[in-house]
Structure 1
Amino acid sequence: MSRAEYLERWTALHGGVPATGLVGGWLTMAHTLAGPLVRLRVGPDGVTLLGLGVALAALWPASVGGRAALAVAVVVTVAGVLDNLDGAVAVMTGRVTRRGAVLDAVCDRLADAAFVGCLWLLGAPGWLVVAGGAVAWLHEYLRARAAAGGMSEVGVVSVSERPTRIVVTVMFALGAGIYPGAGERWALAGAAAWLVVGLVGFTQVALVVRRRLTG
């Protein structure tokens, strides 16, 4: 499947969200990296489970702390890339299924918990980590329930979509690794970013859902 065909198909599957700008660049990267997996006949579900395994693996260097936080940033980045490759492989091989979508959603939520859990292991307060993670889960739950209620399109690309959570985790893990003496403060700031950005994103989605489903 060519890049143009892939982007067109992705847009159709995501309620008409345009594959332009940063989204288009990210999808182009996913299309390029997914090519070898498609040729090797690797299934999308296998990529999904691999991505979850990599996300959970980030917890180990996070528990070590100090300079090991740099490894957290690397592992979370790899997990983020794999998160996009499963969808790319599914689209490019014509293997987009409802079962695969459910598996992907469950693995994404578990990976989200691992990412914010890394910030807790690096020193962020437990209550702040739980709050940030809960808002992220509510963001996704609201969108899923809206879809079940008849909202066929994504509605809005909020500021707290999953790539944002991954980027925030990577940025603050890098800070904790580069400045280990202030690692706990970097982790606290990262968890706070999860919460603040999550609240803004949840509000964006909630407002759109209210407009779309009113009446």
Structure 2
Amino acid sequence: MAATRERVRIVDTTVLSDDWYVLRKVTFDFLRRDGTWQRLSRETYDRGNGATILLRHAETGDVLLTRQFRMPAFVSGHDGMLLEAAAGLLDDETPEARIRAEAEEETGYRVRGVRKVFEAFMSPGSVTEKLHFFVGEYDASLRTGAGGGVAEEGEDLEVVEMPLQAALDAVERGEIVDAKTIMLLQYVALRDTAGARAA
């Protein structure tokens, strides 16, 4: 089978919206596995790439999340107040530099021991964003402020500290429904389990 780039011929790209982010309609010919070409159209939403980090207390292992209002969740029938790991768009910075700044802005803590754990496309059927996932540590000595985000950007975040198990239980109860946060919580839970077995 030919390489993917040889199986895709872009015919036309139309910008449908360029307000907050960019919504495009892409028409292309795609070489199917049976050797025939098929013309397709897809919409892609380009909001840039981002980064997210799960902060864990250096001694207790508690996790630090934020609660904030999300309009897309609200119009989908949720109350819109989501518990999330700190996150933000890269804005032409490196993923680690951006997530360090974003975490401090949102939570009020500088982060140490920052480690990248994986990357993922969050909704590849329509959204171009690739998210860089990190874990890091915090404690009282690293506190720089109250957190809460930037009011001028419309942010009004509540900082929420909880035990890891309580966060995992909240996932099971449907109280934490943000995908990036669930992925990071499950990552650290699996690592904790693997570490316990090794010990």
Q: TM-score, normalization: structure 1?
A: 0.23
Higher-Rg structure is 2
Considering fraction of residues, name the structure with more helix. Answer: 1
Considering fraction of residues, name the structure with more strand. Answer: 2
Q: TM-score, normalization: structure 2?
A: 0.24
**Larger RCO of the pair (alpha carbons < 8 Å, separation 6+):** 1
